[in-house]
Amino acid sequence: MALAEHAQRTGSRPAGSVTVLEGRRKVMRLASARPAPTEGQLYAAREKIHPASVRGTFRTVKWAILSVALAVYYGLPFLRWERGAEQPSQAVLLDLDKGRFYFFFIELWPQDVTYVMGLLILAALVLFAMNAVAGRVWCGYLCPQTVWTDLFMAVERFAEGDRRERQKLDAAPWTADKIWRRTLKHALWILIAWWTGGAWVLYFADAPTLVVQLAAFEAPTAAYAAIGILTATTYVLAGHMREQVCTYMCPWPRIQGALTDRHSLAITYRYDRGEPRGSAKKAAALRAAGRPAGDCVDCFQCVAACPAGIDIRDGLQMECIQCGLCADACNTVMRKLGRPEGLIAYDTDANCQARAAGAPAVYKPVRVRTLLYAAMISAVGGIMLYNLATRDLTGLSAIHDRNPLFVTLADGSIRNGYTLRVLNKRPIERAFTLGLDSPLPLRAEVVGGSGNTLRVPADSTQEFRVLVFAPPRAKLDRSTELTFVITDPTTGDRAAADDHFKAP
């Protein structure tokens, strides 16, 4: 039962590798930061985690990603992109009113929603591929929950100090200093949260205009409501909930277990090298006596640094977002002790076992699974790119009148009625020429129009009623194929729609 549960929690392997677990059990468990259930309680209070600040490679990478991600998020709405007169000049804009999505040189209409589907498929595949190669890369570095939590923790450290000071402050009575520090922290959090919500709404309207409107209390109610909701969620999720979101709210930790195999890298405590753990002094004594000693000095720096509050030495755990901060903390200690770095590093459990048994470690980033993901990503991406590159800026659809199918006129000629809808995706008004392609000597007439010209305003669609006439005494079948063709004489754009001409 415990084994099954362990397998479930570690996410990766069902009962298949019992030996691993048994082998590990001997070496594991001194103390866990995971909250132990209070006796007889079915619900446990969250234990506040105070991660210590660390320096190192992973921390630097995380800061870099955080800076870029937040700069893009807060700044992108202000980036301009010229599209011509009367057209929005915002590089990234989701215009819900007009039903247009602008992304730099791409403009999508509601019927182009297939691209969004393609993007989602692509995003899922990339996520799967990342997981197959190096585990929860998304969770540790890229997820907004991680990025904002990191930012909020930095603010917390600025206002209240590092782990030790914060723990002391928690226990301290409410002095003026404590009140001041707490007020400062929450004020800064709310400010960032508010800015986060504020930046969000700027993607849905012209940013500079909306900023002015917001300040003058003239913006739409929906904008204020969205800002309010996002301010609240950011403040609560990044300030107060943090690892609880990852552990209890997010489905991804459960799913990723199914997408990881024995070759997937993960932040791993190399127990083959670390065990038996003990103080530096004891280890030195053991080594002097020629007996095996592990590199782990049991300093708990990895536990102190963990934003999820777990002990990485217990193995792969569901709570672990694989941010690598424990590795940074451990490397600092190893450097001080003069031992090689990488006691905690990207590795696999299989390699730990192999090394412990004296076999060489195996790294296989290229395997069937990752190749398949790469192939699928290329295929979907390729299809989307091809589609995007060859998509039409002109469209035509035709609907034949349902009733009457045809009308006999006084001179005996036959008339059919159609509704044509012309799409003009270019940012200029265009005049299309309507033509007919049919084996019959048909003549078209645009109702209320001038001749066979269809005028369509910039970036919009226009409906036209078109009457098609067959001359009197023409030899007509009950149904004859007919193609409407529109051409833009200036650009040469062309679109066609197939229909039928009906007769008695």
Partner 1 sequence: MAESALKSPESSGETTGHEWDGIRELNNPLPRWWLYTLYATIVWSFAYWVVYPAWPLLTSYTTGLFGYSQREVVLEEVARVREARAARGQAQLASASFEDIRSDPNLLNLALATGKAAFGDNCAGCHGVSATGRTGYPSLQDDEWLWGGTLPEIERTIRFGARTSHPESRAGDMMAFGRDGILKRDEIRSVANYVLSLSGKAYDPKLDLARGGEIFAQNCAACHGDTGRGKQEVGAPDLTDAIWLYGSSPEQVIATITNGRKGVMPAWEGRLDDATIRSLALYVHGLGGGR
Q: Please give the Cα distance from 188 to 182 (Å, whole number).
A: 10
**Closer CB to partner 1, residue 390 or residue 450?**
450
Q: Which is nearer to partner 1, 435 or 449 (CB)?
A: 449
Residue 30 Cβ vs partner 1, minimum distance, rounded to whole Å? 10
**Quick one: which segment of 23-31, 143-151, 171-179, 298-306 binds partner 1 (CB under 8 A)?**
23-31
**Which one of residues 290, 448, 475, 492 is an interface residue with partner 1 (CB under 8 A)?**
448
Is residue 19 near partner 1 by the rule CB under 8 A? Answer: no
Q: Which C-beta is closer to partner 1: that of 106 or that of 249?
A: 249
Min separation Cβ 24 and partner 1, Å: 8
Indicate whether 41 belongs to the interface with partner 1 (CB under 8 A): yes
3-state secondary structure 377-441: HHHHHHHHHHHHHCCCCEEEEEEECCCCCCEECCCCCEEEEEEEEEEECCCCCEEEEEEEECCCC
Tell me which stretch binds partner 1 (CB under 8 A): 296-304, 323-331, 333-341, 409-417.
409-417
Q: Which of 157, 127, 135 is CA-nearest to residue 63?
A: 157
Residue 38, amino acid:
T
Residue 298 contacts partner 1 per CB under 8 A: no
Output the smallest distance, CB 47 to partner 1, in A.
10
Local structure of 340: helix, strand or coil: coil
Select from 182, 262, 282, 415 the one that contacts partner 1 (CB under 8 A).
415
Tell me phi and psi for residue 193, to 5 degrees.
-60, -40
Site for partner 1 in 55-114 (CB under 8 A): none
Q: Round to whole Å and give the CA distance between 216 and 212.
A: 6
The DSSP string of 78-99 is G-B----TTS--BSEEEETTTT
39 is a contact residue toward partner 1 (CB under 8 A) = yes
Near partner 1 by CB under 8 A: residue from 97, 105, 410, 492 = 410
Per CB under 8 A, 431 contacts partner 1? no
Judged by beta carbon, residue 133 or residue 321, the one nearer partner 1 is 321
How many C-beta atoms surround the C-beta of residue 213 within 10 A?
Answer: 15
CB closer to partner 1 out of 240 and 391: 240
Q: How many residues bind partner 1 (CB under 8 A)?
A: 40
- Binding pattern for the stretch 459-498 against partner 1, x by CB under 8 A and - elsewhere: --------x----x--------------------------
Three-state DSSP state, 122: helix
Nearest 5°: phi and psi at 146? -70, -45
- Cβ atoms 421, 463 nearer than 8 A: yes
- Burial of 114 per CB tally in 10 Å (0-12, 13-18, 19+): exposed
Angle at 381 between CA 246 and CA 365, to 5 degrees: 60
Contact between 2 and partner 1 per CB under 8 A? yes
Site for partner 1 in 194-253 (CB under 8 A): 241, 244, 248
Give first-to-last CA distance, the chain, whole Å: 78
- Residue 411: other Cβ atoms inside 10 A: 9
We find the least distance from the C-beta atom of residue 401 to partner 1, in angstroms, to be 8
Could you tell me which stretch among 30-38, 77-85, 118-126, 263-271 binds partner 1 (CB under 8 A)?
A: 30-38
Tell me the CA distances in angstroms from 460 to 140, 173, 310, 396, one per residue in order.
44, 65, 56, 12
Q: Is 417 in the site for partner 1 (CB under 8 A)?
A: yes
Q: What phi, psi does 476 have (nearest 5°)?
A: -120, 135
- 15, 16, 31, 38: which one binds partner 1 (CB under 8 A): 38
Write the DSSP string, 257-304. GGG--TT--EEEE-HHHHPSP--HHHHHHHHHTT----S-----HHHH
Residue 120 in contact with partner 1, rule: CB under 8 A: no
Looking only at residues 386 through 405 of this chain, which bind partner 1 when binding is defined by CB under 8 A? 401, 403-404
Q: Which residues bind partner 1 (CB under 8 A)?
A: 1-3, 5-6, 9, 25, 28-29, 35-46, 241, 244, 248, 314, 401, 403-404, 407-412, 415, 417, 447-448, 467, 472
